[in-house]
Amino acid sequence: MNVPEFSQTAAGAMTMFYRGRRYYQQRVLRNKTTWRCIFVRTCSGTAVSFTNGRARAVNPHSCQAAIQNIEHSLVIIKPESVRLQFSGRIIAAFEAAGLRKVATKMVRATRRQILAHYPRANDQLVRYMVSGPINCVVFRGVDAIRTIRRMLGANLPSPPAGTIRHDYRNEVVIGRRADTVCHASDSQDEAERETSIWFIDEEIVD
């Protein structure tokens, strides 16, 4: 098995990546990089652990700590961000953070879909969300929900610099609130509910 090339991060930082059925964990300490890859064969329940390039068999249950943090999250890139052609850069930012895109589609939402997604939406939000195409994307990865919401930044009139809502902000105002650029699931339960509105199971490629 080929060892992936990792770029170094801050000293002491630890990052986990998910690719296919492979879980890679990286640690950088005193400018020295070590890594660990866990490969899970779900069909047979066996697992192999790779540490510094050497393989050894492990109990599949020892992989549970890595597996249990793998989440799905739905991101909706809103009409104005799509119109301004920000979709590609926003998606690339999430992928650069180690998340994997497992489903995507560009759609013109119906009023019924928006009300299913936002049960308490007011007329202004509904009109905005059906005013043009939106880009729906499902991401998968370790702590995907928390990672995406941290990268988006708080839903505030002035989002923190360096967040997606700051860097890709626009002039749209919905009621008295600025457009939030993207929607992102805030829990695993919500991610499952929201994803079912926009995708069927066959469209999600894990």
- State pLDDT tens for residues 59-87: 444 444 445 578 899 999 999 999 999 99
- Nearest residue to 128 (alpha-carbon basis) of 177, 78, 163, 92: 78
Mean pLDDT on 146-174: 84
pLDDT band at 48 (very low <50, low <70, confident <90, very high): very low
- 183 catalytic, yes or no? yes
Instruction: Given the residues 61, 117, 166, 183, select the one marked as catalytic.
Output: 183
Strand runs labelled E in the chain? 14-19, 22-29, 32-41, 46-51, 54-58, 70-77, 100-107, 134-142, 173-174, 177-178, 182-184
Dist CA 31 CA 86 (whole Å): 35
Dist CA 108 CA 130 (whole Å): 6
Dump pLDDT digits (tens) for 92-149: 999 999 999 999 999 999 999 999 999 999 999 999 999 999 999 999 998 899 999 9
DSSP 46: E
CA atoms within 13 A on the CB side of 130: 15
Dist CA 148 CA 162 (whole Å): 13
